Chains A and B, each alone.
Chain A
Amino acid sequence: MSTGISLTPRIDIRSFLVPTRHAASPFSYDATHLFAIIPTYAPSEITLKLVRDLILWNERIIVYVVDDCSPQDHSERARLFQKIAAVSYHRVRILRTPENKLKAGALNHALAHIEANAPSPDVILTLDDDVVIERHTVKNLVCALLASDSLGAVCSQCRVFNKNVNLLTRLQGLEYLGFNAIRLADEGFFHGPLVMHGMLTAFRGSALRAVGGFLEGHLIEDYEVTTRLKEAGWSVKSAPNAPAWTVVPEKLSQLWRQRTRWSYGGITVVARAVRPSAVIQDILGHFVFLSTLLMVVVLLFSKGSGLVPPLIAEIIIAISLLQLLIWYGFQLWLMRHYSEKDTRDWLIRLSLVPEFMYSYLQTAALLGSYVFHIFASLKRRNRGERSRLATMGTRLFRALGYSERSWGTRAKRSL
């Protein structure tokens, strides 16, 4: 790798409060070799629109659509692939993996083609197949990436395309607003935000090559590759002026499967991380969560002595209330950046209750992920021994939405 800058990983404690600034670098957007990869298993009309918009609004982009060995007996799907190819016979390339390789494998398949045909891609965009972009999204994203040589990846702002369908999609819309805020807060904090999401992220070609592309067989390849980029010394950030819309789960069962994949996938990334600084946000999260859980367990099985000074109890309550007040105020202030909001969104946010209930779902998914992680670790340790208990456990966890292999929520969506 030759970047001309120092990428030595370091821990900057000051960035906990004051985010580090990225040094500016000169660049020319017009001279950038730009490639986009869209892996798909079940393409839709949104995929077609995405390819059209990418080609129409970005003169120099080459788009690779990777069919991850989807069944070829579906005439509607074949028709869509033909339409996608017809958007531009020069700038759209349809690839097909020889076998179903999941998203990371499909991305690597396209990367290998790009490397073979264009030895030095400057920027590689990875996109989900159900993303909607604006005219300037890609340009703003690429400019944000090239503005500093220390950046290895920059992700877009995530918005919810189907926000108004039901309460669940509205809750996710509000949640994604929080995701974007957290990513902005984490810019310059150690190596930047935790995850450069798979929805739409721009990777520096040299950075992606240096870390060896995506790790195949992983549940959340976006978090995994972000961690390896950071461990190699690269920083990451989000681009506030690069919005992109995605379709979120509309049913509780779909959302549950997505969240179990995210939370269990996240635990596996943290467990395998070489440098704690690359996953610092999750380490803090797990620490506080598990400490509180431990506290509950100890309190359930301990006998009190009645010696708690009232002052301690009052301080705990005061800090908790102050925290709630500050955070609630911040959540209300964030609504000014939610351009799609309507009265119902305001009611949901103001009343607190729906989001509070939504938090229980997240807590349950996380607790299940811890248990599944222990189960999967024990199963791996006893590799080769196919006990009845292990088989039953695997079936039970699969029924509950926990799996070590998945194409995500898109795989089973019908055309």
Chain B
Amino acid sequence: MINFNGGTVSLGTSISPLGAYAGYLLMHSGNFWLAVCFLALTTIYFSIVLAMLCRYIINYRRSMLSA
């Protein structure tokens, strides 16, 4: 992920290396409940990104129509 700045946290840019590392560790450890937690986290993050894209498209269209 690049350049997804969820505020001052720089969400996507910060998550990408950490998330990849967490995934790598998960694949090597094989803990079922941690895998479920990681799946939930990935889904939440994906939902945030999709919702943001959805809002961008709507606002972009609105700004095009009002221009």
Contact = CB atoms under 8 A, between A and B. Distances in A.
Interface residues of B, number: 57
Interface stretch (A67-75, A112-120, A209-217, A277-285): A277-285
Q: What's the dominant secondary structure at chain A's contact region?
A: helix
Contacts of B55: 15-19, 185-189
A308 B22 contact: no
Contact of A295 (B34, B52, B56, B62): B34
B35 A327 contact: no
A325 to B, nearest CB: 11
Contact of A284 (B11, B28, B34): B11
Contacts of B21: 296
Contacts of B49: 323, 326-327
Given A178-B4, A185-B53, A362 B13 contact: yes
A363 B5 CA distance: 12
B2 A355 contact: yes
Interface string A19-36: 101000000000000000
Interface of A: 15-19, 21, 174-175, 177-179, 181-182, 184-189, 194-195, 220, 223, 240-241, 262-263, 265-267, 269, 279, 281-282, 284-286, 288-289, 291-293, 295-296, 298-300, 302-309, 312-313, 315-317, 319-320, 322-324, 326-328, 330-331, 352, 355-356, 358-360, 362-363, 366
A299 B38 CA distance: 11
B26 to A, nearest CB: 6
A299 B8 CA distance: 27
A187 B63 CA distance: 11
Nearest to A187: B59
Given A285-B8, A289-B11, A184 B56 contact: yes
B39 A175 contact: no
Contacts of A186: 52, 55
9 contacts: A15-B55, A17-B51, A19-B55, A186-B52, A189-B55, A269-B8, A292-B15, A317-B23, A319-B46
A313 B51 contact: no
Given A288-B44, A292-B19, A299 B34 contact: yes
Nearest to B32: A307
Given A362-B13, A362-B14, A320 B19 contact: yes
A371 to B, nearest CB: 15
Nearest to A287: B44
Contacts of B1: 323-324, 327
A85 to B, nearest CB: 36
A299 B9 contact: no
Contacts of A195: 7-8
B58 A360 contact: no
Select the residue from A18, A179, A323 with max chain B CB neighbours within 10 A. A323
B7 A281 contact: yes
A296 B8 contact: no
A199 to B, nearest CB: 15
A149 B21 CA distance: 47
A14 B14 CA distance: 27
Given A182-B52, A300-B25, A327 B41 contact: no
Contacts of A279: 7
B36 A282 contact: no
B6 A285 contact: yes
Given A185-B53, A279-B7, A289-B11, A363 B18 contact: yes
Contacts of A281: 6-7
B59 A188 contact: yes
Contacts of B53: 185, 326, 330
Contacts of A292: 15, 18-19, 22, 41
B60 to A, nearest CB: 6
The 8 closest A-B pairs by CB, nearest first: A266-B8, A285-B9, A304-B29, A359-B13, A304-B30, A178-B3, A285-B6, A282-B7
Contacts of B38: 295, 316
Contacts of B2: 327-328, 331, 352, 355-356, 359
A363 B46 contact: no
